[in-house]
């Protein structure tokens, strides 16, 4: 997979991909991640990428020129399965969307700033608009990092233990059950007996029941679907 990210703050996107699983996914060749500074595509001598909004009002709007140039220069090189715009008014990010996106060859992600991008960019180029939650971030970069992380870890071969993405919360529509490691007793709290039983059938049944109970208590909305 190849992921291109358009941003005015490429430095914000360095560390999220420079450690742990995201770093290994790149060194093992599962994904190539490129960030592009939108200022490079500005004609203006101050490298401005925003302007006052028509109709007045507080807050700048990201201009069509640099974004359109950046997208078209990337599109000249390859086809993108999705051109994603990170925005609080987008579709809420769900595990099912991450699963779908993990099958893509090429993704392009546009990070919004200020009051957002000129609507014509959305009308002309964007194929998917994603929000990571009902709150407003200073820009789309951290949201883009969330999407990239959630998608890249699903690419086959990225996780060491191939089964571990399958047992994630949400993968089967349920939250994950509680987990324990040594010691068997800590400050008076004991690991549930069944997990020490060595009986895989009993363990599986316990985990399923716990996953269901946890989901019912914390995310009943997931059971209604
Ligand atoms: N940009 C600002 N806030 C955002 C959010 N909640 N999700 C996606 N992009 C954003």
Per-position pLDDT tens, the chain of length 225:
999 999 999 999 999 999 999 999 999 999 999 999 999 999 989 999 999 999 999 999 999 999 999 999 999 999 999 999 999 999 999 999 999 999 999 999 999 987 899 999 999 999 999 999 999 999 999 999 999 999 999 999 999 876 678 778 887 899 999 999 999 999 999 999 999 999 999 999 999 999 999 999 999 999 997
CA distance 7 to 39: 8
Question: Atom 7 of ligand 1 has which residue's CA nearest to it?
Answer: 131
**CATH 2.30.30.30 matches 2-152:** no
For position 162, what pLDDT does the model report? 61
Domains 2-152 and 169-224 share a fold: no
**Alpha helices (runs of H) in 53-159, residue ranges in sequence order:** 64-75, 95-101, 119-124, 141-152
Question: Atom 5 of ligand 1 has which residue's CA nearest to it?
Answer: 88
* Superfamily of domain 169-224 in the CATH hierarchy: tRNA(m1g37)methyltransferase, domain 2 (1.10.1270.20)
Cα 47 to chain centroid, rounded: 29
Residues near ligand 1 with C-beta < 6 Å? 86-88, 112, 131-133, 135-137, 140, 143
Of all helices (H) and strands (E), which one includes residue 17? none
Of all helices (H) and strands (E), which one includes residue 84? strand 82-92
Q: Is 4 helix (H, G, I), strand (E, B) or coil?
A: strand
Mind listing the pLDDT tens digit for each residue in 98-107? Answer: 999 999 999 9
- CA–CA distances in Å: residue 23 to residues 17, 110, 140, 149, 159: 6, 21, 21, 10, 12
Question: Atom 6 of ligand 1 has which residue's CA nearest to it?
Answer: 88
7 CA → ligand 1 middle, Å: 13
For position 48, what pLDDT does the model report? 94
- CA–CA distances in Å: residue 133 to residues 72, 137, 168, 204: 29, 10, 20, 32
Where are the chain's structural domains? 2-152, 169-224
91 CA → ligand 1 middle, Å: 11
């Amino acid at each position: 997979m190849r992921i291109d990210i358009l941003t005015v703050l490429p430095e914000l996107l360095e560390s999220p991909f420079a450690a742990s699983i995201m770093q290994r996914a790149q060194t093992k060749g599962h994904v190539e991640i490129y960030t592009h500074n939108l200022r490079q595509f500005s004609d203006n001598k101050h490298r401005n990428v925003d302007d006052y909004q028509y109709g007045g009002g507080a807050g700048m709007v990201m201009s069509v020129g640099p974004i359109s140039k950046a997208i078209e220069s990337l599109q000249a090189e390859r086809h993108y399965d999705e051109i994603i715009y990170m925005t609080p008014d987008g579709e809420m990010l769900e595990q099912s969307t991450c699963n779908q996106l993990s099958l893509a060859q090429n993704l392009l992600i546009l990070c919004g700033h200020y009051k957002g991008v000129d609507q014509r960019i959305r009308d002309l180029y964007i194929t998917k608009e994603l929000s990571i939650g009902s709150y407003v971030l200073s820009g789309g970069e951290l949201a883009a990092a969330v999407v990239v992380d959630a998608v890249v870890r699903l690419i086959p071969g990225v996780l060491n233990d191939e089964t571990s993405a399958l047992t994630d919360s949400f993968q089967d529509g349920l939250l994950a059950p509680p987990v324990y490691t040594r010691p068997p007793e800590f400050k008076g709290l004991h690991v549930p007996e069944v997990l020490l039983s060595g009986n895989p059938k009993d363990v599986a049944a316990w985990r399923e029941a716990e996953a269901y109970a946890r989901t019912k208590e914390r995310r009943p909305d997931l059971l209604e679907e």
